[in-house]
């Protein structure tokens, strides 16, 4: 031990050798095996340390240094492809401030010999996608080959896999060149990635680490049928070999031309003038980064003029005319300090890793979900572990991998408690379910808080002013134990709570009184019955007409309701069979909660039963919500996205991609007048 404490610092030569070995190892894991052990940010840190040593000690630079080449080798099983034009990397600017853009512009102006008083340089600014670089070779307009970048000189033939990506045209539109190689990125959208992982979790199977590696693994599958099951996307951003085509004079013009050929080109791009234009673009994309449907780790600046690009040329294997300007990494290393179990509104128990604070995805993260016991055990996350944590967009931070070689001796596997950590009730996992749930219901404090917040939300009975802090005080102080207790609150009981003045207390009481007049669908939704969302609540109210019939309905009768299947029917029936749930309903009625009830609706009397509508754009006289209510009152289902199951799309002014999708699928399109005419039939 004493010897380790006083060990000599490694010499620059020793450290450089150590870093080269580490980087070669991690590049192999990342590019060849698709099983990275460290996040990109950690790889970048090691890479930059080696660059600094080599800059200070040029004699240590070796031909096999990772700084001198693009990493990656061809896998056995895929045919090698030698690129006609090398697929090289571009320099990375890790200064995430405006200074990164300003430094690049200054370098370009210096190389071009332009003074500060001369006209600003024109740049093409675009996104740096987090996917897998691909070269598509079109001959006479037909896709004949697709290859990965590999080591930049030689890649792998993945033509059959790329053909499964619907966005990539098999034949170009218009008069195509004799040869056109298109460079671009295969990636996976965040929502597609989350759905894929959710399906994996439901099946109790392995989940994937991140969209980038999932896309890369899918592209390099030996079986195209496996690739076809993965939801991949593509953006074009450049070209390789070209024959028989007059190439546009600018990079932005090139992207426009590729789009005209029918290739997908990202709309988030612009032509920027000088450093100020680059800084503005970097800030604009940073502000909308979380809202993008896919991951990026920066933006790319390229001198727009292809003639100036040729004049600037290359430095080693990187162009002087382009740079990637980074954003904060979306994966980082940290340690697990504890594993807590949280209880949700429906009683679901979720293990949550308490982390040493780490800045990732633009925010400081201290918690990350482990989803359920199966997922926590499969990833083998233990207290004290060093882990990779990921946060992208508005996705909840999660632990995606463990560095087991850093594990502490004696670290124990996670086991879900058999009792609810909040109320002590038994925690069970139903057959066919992956989640454990507390059986305490409204008797559980955690579920009670969430049940009250759910009941009070705007889409349910809408109790204005009843927020998280107030509900927490009411439940923790045993003032409110069940939903009906809300309507028994007195002015002084509320006014005596922290940060609650008499006027604020009176406002809450007024909101509670107002909430007594509601609708049956809102009330049903507010009860928090598992699997019953707003649409199902409306279907139930429409079908039965009154609450008593819903409460008394058998599973067989519930299955007659539009879009109610066996799982939902069982959940509704089980909920109303519980005496304490029926007691809550009766007490709410006794407190004066009211809604209009009618007679059971006849399906034949609803002209649009079974029809699915999608609304898009702005209508002349109706708000979107009003149109939705009219359609649902006629028995229709209003969906949020267009699919082959959509019967009608109702389009107003400024209709967007939903209208394009409807035309692509041949779905009938109506305007507001057409919809009203259909409702009148």
Which residues have a catalytic role annotated? 128
- Cα Rg for the chain, rounded, in angstroms? 30
Is residue 354 a contact partner of residue 384, using CB atoms and an 8 Å limit? no
CA dist., res. 639 & res. 648, Å (int): 10
Could you write out the DSSP letters of every residue in 143-199?
EEEEEE-TTSSEEEB-HHHHTT-TTS-SB-SSS--SEEEEEEEEE--HHHHHHHHHH
Query: What backbone torsions phi and psi does residue 10 show, to the nearest 5 degrees?
Result: -65, 150
Indicate the Cα dihedral angle 447, 476, 463, 564, nearest 10°. Answer: 10
Q: Are 383 and 412 in contact (CB under 8 A)?
A: yes
Let me know: does 299 contact 282? Beta carbons within 8 Å.
Answer: yes
Q: Residue 215: which residues within 8 A CB-CB, separation 6 or more?
A: 131, 132, 186, 187, 188, 230, 232
Bridge-based pairing of strands 91-93 and 322-326 is parallel
Evaluate whether 87 touches 137 at the Cβ level (below 8 Å). no
Tell me the sheet residues that pair with 250. Answer: 305
Nearest C-alpha neighbor of 394 from the set 286, 290, 289, 296: 290
Q: How far apart are CA 332 and CA 353, in angstroms?
A: 15
Helix intervals (H) in 211-305: 211-219, 224-228, 251-260, 274-288
Q: Phi/psi of residue 222, each to 5°?
A: -80, -20
Please state, in angstroms and rounded to a whole number, the distance separating the CA atoms of residues 448 and 576: 17
Residues 487 and 593 sit within 8 Å (Cβ to Cβ): yes
CA 600 to chain centre: 41
Q: Give residues with Cβ within 8 angstroms of 77, minimum separation 6.
A: 222
The 10 Å CB-count burial string (b at 16+, else e) for 133-158 is: bbbbbbbebebebbbbbbbbebbbbb
Detail the DSSP E strand segments found in 374-471: 386-390, 398-402, 427-429, 436-438
Please check whether residue 177 is in contact with residue 125, taking contact to mean a CB–CB distance below 8 angstroms.
Answer: no
Contact 563, 535 (CB under 8 A): yes
Tokens of 241: 């070999």
CB 418 within 8 A of CB 439: no
E strand or H helix at 538: helix 534-544
Burial of 605-619, coded b for 16+ CB within 10 Å and e otherwise, reads ebebbebbbbbbbeb
Distance CA 586, CA 589 (A): 5
Is the Cβ–Cβ distance between 321 and 108 less than 8 Å? yes
């Amino acid at each position: 031990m004493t010897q380790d404490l006083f060990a000599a610092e490694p010499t620059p030569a020793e450290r450089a050798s150590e870093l080269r070995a580490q980087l070669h190892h991690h590049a192999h894991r990342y590019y060849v095996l698709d099983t990275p052990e460290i996040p990109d940010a950690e790889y970048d840190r090691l890479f930059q340390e080696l660059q600094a040593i080599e800059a200070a000690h040029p004699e240590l630079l070796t031909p096999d240094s990772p700084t001198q080449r693009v990493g990656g080798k061809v896998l056995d099983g895929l045919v090698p492809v030698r690129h006609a034009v090398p697929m090289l990397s571009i320099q990375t600017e890790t200064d995430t401030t405006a200074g990164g853009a300003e430094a690049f512009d200054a370098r370009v102006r210096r190389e071009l010999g332009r003074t500060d008083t001369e006209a600003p340089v024109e740049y093409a600014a675009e996104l740096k996608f987090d996917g897998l670089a691909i070269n598509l070779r079109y001959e006479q307009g037909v896709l004949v080959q697709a290859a990965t970048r590999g080591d930049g000189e030689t890649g792998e033939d993945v033509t059959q896999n790329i053909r499964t990506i619907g966005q990539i045209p098999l034949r170009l539109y218009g008069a195509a060149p004799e040869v056109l190689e298109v460079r671009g990125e295969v990636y996976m959208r965040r929502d597609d990635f989350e759905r894929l992982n959710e399906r994996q979790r439901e099946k109790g199977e392995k989940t994937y680490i991140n969209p980038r590696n999932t896309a890369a693994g899918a592209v390099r599958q030996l079986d195209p049928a496996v690739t076809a099951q993965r939801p991949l996307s593509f953006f074009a951003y450049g070209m390789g070999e070209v024959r028989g085509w007059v190439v546009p004079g600018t990079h932005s013009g090139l992207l426009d031309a590729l789009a005209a050929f029918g290739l997908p080109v990202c709309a988030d791009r612009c032509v920027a003038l000088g450093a100020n234009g680059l800084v503005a673009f970097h800030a604009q994309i940073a502000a909308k980064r979380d809202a993008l449907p896919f991951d990026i780790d920066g933006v790319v600046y390229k001198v727009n003029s292809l003639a100036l690009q040729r004049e600037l040329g290359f430095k080693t294997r990187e162009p002087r005319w382009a740079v990637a300007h980074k954003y904060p990494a979306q994966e980082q290393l940290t340690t697990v300090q504890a594993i807590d179990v949280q209880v949700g509104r429906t009683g679901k128990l979720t293990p949550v890793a308490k982390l040493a604070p780490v800045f990732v995805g633009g925010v400081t993260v201290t918690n990350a979900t482990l989803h359920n016991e199966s997922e926590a055990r499969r990833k083998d996350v233990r207290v004290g572990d060093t882990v990779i944590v990921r946060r992208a967009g508005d996705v909840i931070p999660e632990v995606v991998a463990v560095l087991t070689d850093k594990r502490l001796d004696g670290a124990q596997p996670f086991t879900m408690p058999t009792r609810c950590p909040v109320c002590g009730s038994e925690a069970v996992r139903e057959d066919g379910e992956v989640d454990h749930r507390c059986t305490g219901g409204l008797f559980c404090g955690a579920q009670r808080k969430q049940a009250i917040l759910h009941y009070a939300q705007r889409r349910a009975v809408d109790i204005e002013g009843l927020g998280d802090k107030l509900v927490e005080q009411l439940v923790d102080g045993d003032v409110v134990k069940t939903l009906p207790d809300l309507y028994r609150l007195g002015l002084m009981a509320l006014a005596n709570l922290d940060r609650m003045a008499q006027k604020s207390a009176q406002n809450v009481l007024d909101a509670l009184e107002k909430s007594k007049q509601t609708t049956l669908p809102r009330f049903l939704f507010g009860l928090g019955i598992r699997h019953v969302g707003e649409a199902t609540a409306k279907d139930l109210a429409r079908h039965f007409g009154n609450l008593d019939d819903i409460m008394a309905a058998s599973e067989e009768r519930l299955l007659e309701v539009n879009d109610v299947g066996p799982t939902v029917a069982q959940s509704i029936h089980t909920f109303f069979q519980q005496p304490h749930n029926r007691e809550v309903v009766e007490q709410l009625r006794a407190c004066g909660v009211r809604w209009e009830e009618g007679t059971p609706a006849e399906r034949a009397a609803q002209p649009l039963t079974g029809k699915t509508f999608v609304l898009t754009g702005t209508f002349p006289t109706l708000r979107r919500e009003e149109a939705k209510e009219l359609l649902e009152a006629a028995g229709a289902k209003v969906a949020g996205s267009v699919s082959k199951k959509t019967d009608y799309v109702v389009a107003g002014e400024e209709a967007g991609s939903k209208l394009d999708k409807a035309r692509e699928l041949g779905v009938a399109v109506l305007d507001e007048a057409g919809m009203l005419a259909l409702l009148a039939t």
